[in-house]
Amino acid sequence: DGGITQSPKYLFRKEGQNVTLSCEQNLNHDAMYWYRQDPGQGLRLIYYSQIVNDFQKGDIAEGYSVSREKKESFPLTVTSAQKNPTAFYLCASSRRRLAVNTDTQYFGPGTRLTVL
Amino acid sequence: AQTVTQSQPEMSVQEAETVTLSCTYDTSENNYYLFWYKQPPSRQMILVIRQEAYKQQNATENRFSVNFQKAAKSFSLKISDSQLGDTAMYFCAFMTSTSGTYKYIFGTGTRLKVLA
């Protein structure tokens, strides 16, 4: 089945450590996105990538880094520079090109990151 | 700046009744897309319905329909014959493309509880 997978589902990190969240899709989508969700708030865009080997900062990129070496994969690294990393992280993808039904974002199941 | 506003943080409805969730947005763009996503307790984001701004006809998906008022920049979601499984957070989202860059903006969500 086609879809988006994120791993792990729950992640614990000690302060000062970097940690990488995985996001893989087999939908053949061009674009991929990372969002952060905090309680009582909507989704905030961290980074997005429209095509392989290219990515742009979203609204809250500080303390995060990404790579897009393969079309299927868009890992997110939460660095020690991120002041308040405890949150729920959602990965999404879309086909990028504006045509019927290609603009819709599809989401993975999310990763809950907790800093101890 | 483009914004999406959901003014109802929480709502409740009796099973089998109808409920309307409101969403307003602000943009100077003429071509854009609007979405409603559902996030149940599992936290998986699920697309409920989408609307292209250039279409005057309101989108409908089974029990879900929208009232799209482009001039008023309003995009409300109506859920008919509410079911217990409709209990979830509902997010309104706006997508536009400028110079090949796709941007999605989410509202802060409305928590809907369907009562037995």
pLDDT digits (tens, 9 = 90+) for B27-51: 888 888 999 999 998 888 999 999 9
B93 interaction partners in chain A (CB closer than 8 Å): 105
pLDDT of residue A42: 84
The yes-or-no verdict on residue B96 having pLDDT over 90 is: no
Mutate to test the interface with B, among A23, A49, A98 (most CBs of B within 10 A): A98
Is A50 in contact with B95 (Cβ distance < 8 A)?
no
Share of chain B above pLDDT 90, in %: 73
A50 at interface of B, judged by CB pairs closer than 8 A? yes
pLDDT of residue B115: 97
The yes-or-no verdict on residue A102 having pLDDT over 70 is: no
Is B47 in contact with A103 (Cβ distance < 8 A)?
no
With a CB cutoff of 8 Å and minimum separation 6, the contacts of B76 are: B20, B21, B22, B23, B66, B67
B12-17: Cβ within 8 A, 24+ apart: B12/B112, B12/B113, B12/B114, B12/B115, B13/B79, B13/B82, B13/B112, B13/B113, B13/B114, B13/B115, B14/B82, B14/B114, B14/B115, B15/B82, B15/B83, B15/B84, B15/B114, B15/B115, B15/B116, B16/B81, B16/B82, B17/B81, B17/B82
pLDDT of residue A18: 93
> Residues 60 to 89 of A: which have CB under 8 A from any B CB?
88
pLDDT of residue B100: 63
The yes-or-no verdict on residue A99 having pLDDT over 90 is: no
Q: CA nearest A60: which of A40, A25, A39, A87?
A: A87
A110 interaction partners in chain B (CB closer than 8 Å): 43-45
How confident is the model over A44-65, as pLDDT tens digits?
999 999 889 999 999 899 999 9
With a CB cutoff of 8 Å and minimum separation 6, the contacts of B52 are: B33
Residues in chain B: 116
Is B101 in contact with A56 (Cβ distance < 8 A)?
yes
Q: Helix (H, G, I), strand (E, B), or coil: what is residue B84? A: helix
Q: Which of B33, B44, B107 sits opposite A107 (nearest CB)?
A: B44
Q: CA nearest B31: which of B114, B88, B103?
A: B103
Provide DSSP, A75-98.
Answer: -EEE-TT-S---EEEEEEEE--S-
How confident is the model over A2-44, as pLDDT tens digits?
699 999 999 998 888 999 999 999 999 988 999 999 987 789 9
Q: Which of A35, A41, A98 sits opposite B108 (nearest CB)?
A: A41
* Confidence band of A105 (pLDDT split at 50, 70, 90): confident
Q: Which of A50, A98, A110 sits opposite B43 (nearest CB)?
A: A110
Q: CA nearest A72: which of A52, A89, A56?
A: A52
HSE value, Cβ hemisphere, 13 Å, CA-based, for B93: 29
A16 at interface of B, judged by CB pairs closer than 8 A? no
